[in-house]
Chain A
């Protein structure tokens, strides 16, 4: 990391706070680079996106801690004992309530975790730290596919799971290309319905600190970062900034094309294919160097990959046209006389029309 410390002037943490006139927040700001433009990113400008400059992250873990503090009130407080699920073999409880301290992966109590990748690229050694959490996809499958309307994308570009409605079937995790949302059993609506037969808890993930954004404040992980790794702003500006930054460091962008576009853009001085290959599995914050030598496990649950991701909703988007054409074709067929002739009263099979 830290191969490139230059800040490309655009929407920065400072600009955000300054423009919002958030009193006192200025104290958080290191006196260094004041290159920021004066911008007021707000959801009235459309989707907000974040940019993570991976050349700057030192893996200190401040963001991980800040995320926990900021969102502690949203964490599940499950009621024990948990209902015996049916069928027991297939519906297992997922319980993180006794493992709240786990921070080397995503859990219902840890919405942000750090990954580490040591990469040699063009003869240079890089030690890349990567804050991982929900990508906030532009067309999120977790929200589109939720059968109950519990997961939604908002105009601000935030994808949010409503903990009062979620049944915890974990479909959103299955269809998320990064399997981000994590389940806690023993909480939520299912307890009041058919706890043994339907549902299994509530899914949790980064909601981009909407409670802070709503007040015009920065998400906790962005505000706390001593290295100014993250920037937030209207997506079109963040995209422009990411491209400029990538050009400047002769680097690469992740999130622009992935899953059709996300509202989280990573910029790195080394290719993401290389990062994905060596990304550590159990680094935890600030560790990662020697701790996992020799480990060959694949990226496990709660430890998202950095592979290329095709647009998983693309087929549905194409099929949507078919659903528009179909009734028109039916109407045309009708006008062409198809089925127009009433069959004679002697038609067989009277009442199977349902």
Chain B
């Protein structure tokens, strides 16, 4: 639809981060070896649980950087010139949920931190379900041809 009203590299960084976070996130499940992903040339690393886990952390820092950048810009002025599309709003909510649940996941993995098993279960499944919701929303946005998060007011 509309011409994107903010610089393209923010979108590109965001897409890169989310796509590779999704891949490394799904590879947290023991799928790579079972389903021969590790046999695909260039994808042998998907079978290394620790490597994939660390990459997931690294990519999360990229996403968090972009999120910080966008939030500040939004407060500083974008909010007066841009408005979120309904699908944009939904996806912002889901990304926020992913960031929070992911952050709690990182916190849980620190030495000396022990959370209640029920809390961990909740964090884990919220994170897993939200990424699937994000996938569905992205698909809907694509089909509706309105994948921009925000448009000019």
Decide if A316 touches B54 in the complex (CB within 8 Å): yes
CA distance A174 to B53 in the complex (A): 13
The interface residues of chain B lying within 8 Å CB-to-CB of A91 are 34
Q: How large, as a class, is the contact surface on chain B?
A: 35 or more
CA distance A331 to B53 in the complex (A): 25
Q: Which of A122-155 contact B (CB under 8 A)?
A: 138-139, 144-145, 147-149, 152-155
Option from B35, B128, B145 in Cβ contact (under 8 Å) with A90: B35
Option from A138, A147, A175, A342 in Cβ contact (under 8 Å) with B6: A342
Q: Which of B30-56 contact A (CB under 8 A)?
A: 30, 33-36, 49-50, 53-54
The interface residues of chain A lying within 8 Å CB-to-CB of B67 are 327, 330
A174 and B111 in contact, given A320-B106, A323-B61 (Cβ under 8 angstroms): no
The interface residues of chain B lying within 8 Å CB-to-CB of A342 are 5-6, 78, 81-82
Decide if B36 touches A340 in the complex (CB within 8 Å): no
**A73-81, A164-172, A222-230: which one contacts chain B?**
A164-172
The interface residues of chain A lying within 8 Å CB-to-CB of B10 are 339
Decide if B3 touches A345 in the complex (CB within 8 Å): yes
Decide if A352 touches B29 in the complex (CB within 8 Å): no
Decide if B121 touches A320 in the complex (CB within 8 Å): no
The answer to whether the Cβ of A313 comes within 8 Å of any Cβ in the partner chain is yes
Decide if B69 touches A326 in the complex (CB within 8 Å): no
The answer to whether the Cβ of A213 comes within 8 Å of any Cβ in the partner chain is no
A351 and B72 in contact, given A319-B54, A333-B65 (Cβ under 8 angstroms): no
A329 and B65 in contact, given A154-B117, A345-B152, A347-B3 (Cβ under 8 angstroms): yes
CA distance A148 to B50 in the complex (A): 16
CA distance A351 to B8 in the complex (A): 10
Closest to B72 in A: A334
The interface residues of chain B lying within 8 Å CB-to-CB of A347 are 3-8
CA distance A297 to B107 in the complex (A): 41
Q: Which of A340-354 contact B (CB under 8 A)?
A: 340-343, 345-354
Option from B5, B6, B11 in Cβ contact (under 8 Å) with A352: B11
A351 and B1 in contact, given A147-B29, A175-B49, A339-B69 (Cβ under 8 angstroms): yes
The interface residues of chain B lying within 8 Å CB-to-CB of A338 are 69
- Majority-rule SS of B interface residues: helix
Decide if A169 touches B114 in the complex (CB within 8 Å): no
Closest to B63 in A: A326
The interface residues of chain B lying within 8 Å CB-to-CB of A354 are 11, 14-15, 18, 138, 141-142, 147
The interface residues of chain B lying within 8 Å CB-to-CB of A340 are 73, 76-77
The answer to whether the Cβ of B90 comes within 8 Å of any Cβ in the partner chain is no
CA distance A187 to B23 in the complex (A): 29
Q: Which of A50-100 contact B (CB under 8 A)?
A: 87, 90-91
* Nearest CB of B to A150, in Å: 8
Most buried by B among A138, A315, A331, A335: A331
Option from B4, B35, B60 in Cβ contact (under 8 Å) with A323: B60
Closest to A155 in B: B114
CA distance A327 to B121 in the complex (A): 26
* Nearest CB of A to B88, in Å: 9
The interface residues of chain B lying within 8 Å CB-to-CB of A87 are 34-36
Decide if B109 touches A351 in the complex (CB within 8 Å): no
Decide if A330 touches B64 in the complex (CB within 8 Å): yes
CA distance A319 to B145 in the complex (A): 37
CA distance A74 to B47 in the complex (A): 31
CA distance A269 to B27 in the complex (A): 44
Closest to B123 in A: A149
Decide if B72 touches A345 in the complex (CB within 8 Å): no
Decide if A351 touches B148 in the complex (CB within 8 Å): yes
CA distance A316 to B15 in the complex (A): 24
Option from A154, A170, A341 in Cβ contact (under 8 Å) with B114: A154
Most buried by B among A171, A312, A346: A171
A353 and B149 in contact, given A327-B64, A329-B68, A347-B4 (Cβ under 8 angstroms): yes
Enumerate 27 A-B pairs (CB-CB under 8 Å) in ascending A order.
A87-B35, A87-B36, A149-B120, A149-B121, A149-B124, A154-B114, A260-B111, A316-B53, A317-B109, A319-B57, A320-B57, A325-B61, A326-B60, A329-B65, A333-B72, A334-B68, A340-B76, A343-B6, A345-B3, A347-B3, A347-B5, A347-B7, A351-B1, A351-B148, A353-B4, A353-B15, A354-B14
A-B interface, 4 closest residue pairs, ranked by CB to CB distance from nearest = A330-B68, A334-B72, A149-B124, A169-B30
Additional pairs, 7, CB under 8 Å, beyond known A145-B28, A317-B111 = A139-B112, A171-B29, A322-B61, A330-B72, A345-B152, A351-B148, A352-B15
A interface list, Cβ under 8 A from B = 87, 90-91, 138-139, 144-145, 147-149, 152-155, 160, 162, 165, 169-171, 174-175, 260-261, 312-313, 315-317, 319-320, 322-323, 325-335, 338-343, 345-354
